[in-house]
Structure 1
């Protein structure tokens, strides 16, 4: 047997030595073709994936986020999302504005961010009336929109009086609160508790 602490110290020294050696042998890559080469190697020799990774890096920069997802089709595509994206959809199919893509597309909407569930819109009527007067669309992000509140929004959307969509807030618990604050900062607003 060996003393576990001695073993740990030995592993730590080996790791430090390997990191130093890697840093001395490493070189920065900046050109698109170099990035494509690294991407190709990372993708088991698939040059097409390497080119897509290089193109993605060029578009988002060093500080951007690149996410690789499995597609529903056989085609490989690059989609650049400006701003923020989260994994929640519309609460009712009646909010859909683009029937072909089954999407809700709102141009420069007001964004209402609410941490709790919305079951009744009574307190929000003045806000909704002001939005209708402005003619701009409204995006509601809340823990949930249900019952009377959802029905009221759908009816007003169908009548054409209010361009609106509601989505469930992303995340859970404290993470949800932090994400709503991020959305508020991104949109120049404040999350309503």
Structure 2
């Protein structure tokens, strides 16, 4: 690729201009209207304001990635992050202009942020008296805040779209399996056997030995696919009441499907049978199947009420570790929390309603962010009021960091996790900007790139990992 480079102070000025351009918009009071809907995403705004100056665009992207990561981790903090970055950026520009070495200044502010973050983690309080105020800022409606708090008391909260105008909350007992019913009629099953398999079943003879052993006992079958002879004979025998089987196609694809099948197996006390397991050899017995206390079978989904056990508790603990991993983004965390809810046996579900699809999506996002913030407070606590006043500063770096805290948070009582992550992430962006020696941009394709492109090679993707 054809590249251009700006060095040291000239390059940093261009980056700062881009960072300031994005942060000034994100720091505005009120929502940001984009393409007819209000958004909460720094990356969406960044894409819209990028212009012809490629160096300024680099600054926009640098700020956007950091702020987006904060929002994805905690569920909020976009405005606070933008304000803190603006303050640190302005202060560091002034210090650098006064002759202070940028590399030295970067080291100082990182040390200062580390010390303040460590102190914050130790002084966080569990008193959530200000939680409702913060949730109201995120959710926008008192009714939604009350719903979130009630749902959190009932268990791990799940947020879903609703076709209705009014937002509502339901407490569901059991795990929802979203696959469509392939064989059998909608019904309520009691003490049903559960067979979970990740293979496709096309031969009825694979199921016949097990069905003969079960007799009239109900069987809830979840499989990757049921087709051909197996599906035809299942429907025929069910219609003639020779067998009591309800067959469901496993929902989802890839890892999502595998996780769902494994969770269902754990909840009902069985395993996921594969291509070469006992099912294929006709050696499966009723004792090897799972058992559900009750199953509500519907045309498009089923609700399975199993039994919590030490195995399911261990699986929940493993999922929580993945949630706490800093690499797990906000959206994956929501999916993982939903799995915990199913395994826990009691699921508070908030259905986000609205008059239009756009309104439903916006309300669902606000609810997800509110729940994520409330869960953060529940686990890590909140920063005590006036925490910034208790911090003593000596160095220039400490003064810059403290000024950013005071002006961006404005004495707000916020989640301790948000405070710490905000402090560390924004300071690391500022330090990166201070120590930037050169800014490189791609301005076009050279002859080698054009030849690769003619051969069908994605040059942009190819060059993305080459270190430039």
User: What TM-score does the superposition give when structure 2 sets the normalisation length?
Assistant: 0.33
Indicate conservation of the 8 Å contact 1:35/1:50, yes or no: no
Q: Quick check: which has more Rg, 1 or 2?
A: 2
Task: Say yes or no: does 1:128 pair with 2:128.
Answer: no
Shift of 1:181: 2.6
Report SS of the residue matched to 1:74. coil
Distance (Å, rounded) in 2 between the aligned partners of 1:113 and 1:39: 40
Report SS of the residue matched to 1:55. helix
Distance (Å, rounded) in 2 between the aligned partners of 1:116 and 1:21: 53
Q: 2:126 aligns with which of 28, 33, 38?
A: 28
Cα RMSD of the aligned pairs, angstroms, is: 3.4
Distance (Å, rounded) in 2 between the aligned partners of 1:121 and 1:18: 66
Q: Deviations over 1:123-167 (max 9, x none)?
A: 221211233x2x332111111011111122222222233332222
Task: Say yes or no: does 1:71 pair with 2:162.
Answer: yes
Distance (Å, rounded) in 1 between the aligned partners of 2:239 and 2:213: 18
Give the aligned length.
176
Residues 15 and 54 of structure 1, relative CA distance in 2, 3 Å threshold: same
Distance (Å, rounded) in 1 between the aligned partners of 2:115 and 2:229: 65
Comparing 70-79 and 13-22, the one that deviates more: 13-22
Residues 147 and 18 of structure 1, relative CA distance in 2, 3 Å threshold: farther
Indicate conservation of the 8 Å contact 1:38/1:50, yes or no: no
Q: 1:42 aligns with which of 138, 144, 153?
A: 138
Shift of 1:88: 2.3
Matches within 5 A, 1:39-188: 39-44=135-140, 46-60=141-155, 64=156, 66-91=157-182, 95-97=184-186, 104-131=187-214, 133=215, 135-173=216-254, 175-188=256-269
Distance (Å, rounded) in 2 between the aligned partners of 1:56 and 1:22: 29
Report SS of the residue matched to 1:152. helix
Identify the structure with the greater helix proportion. 2
Tell me: higher relative CO, structure 1 or 2? Use CA pairs within 8 A at least 6 residues apart.
2
Distance (Å, rounded) in 2 between the aligned partners of 1:13 and 1:157: 70
Aligned to 1:101: none
Shift of 1:80: 2.4
Residues 9 and 86 of structure 1, relative CA distance in 2, 3 Å threshold: farther
**Structure 1 unaligned residues grouped into runs of 5+:** 98-103
Residues 34 and 168 of structure 1, relative CA distance in 2, 3 Å threshold: farther
**Structure 2 unaligned residues grouped into runs of 5+:** 1-7, 13-101, 275-468
Identify the structure with the greater strand proportion. 2
Distance (Å, rounded) in 2 between the aligned partners of 1:127 and 1:161: 14
Distance (Å, rounded) in 2 between the aligned partners of 1:13 and 1:167: 57
Shift of 1:54: 1.1
Aligned to 2:94: none
Indicate conservation of the 8 Å contact 1:39/1:54, yes or no: no
User: What TM-score does the superposition give when structure 1 sets the normalisation length?
Assistant: 0.72
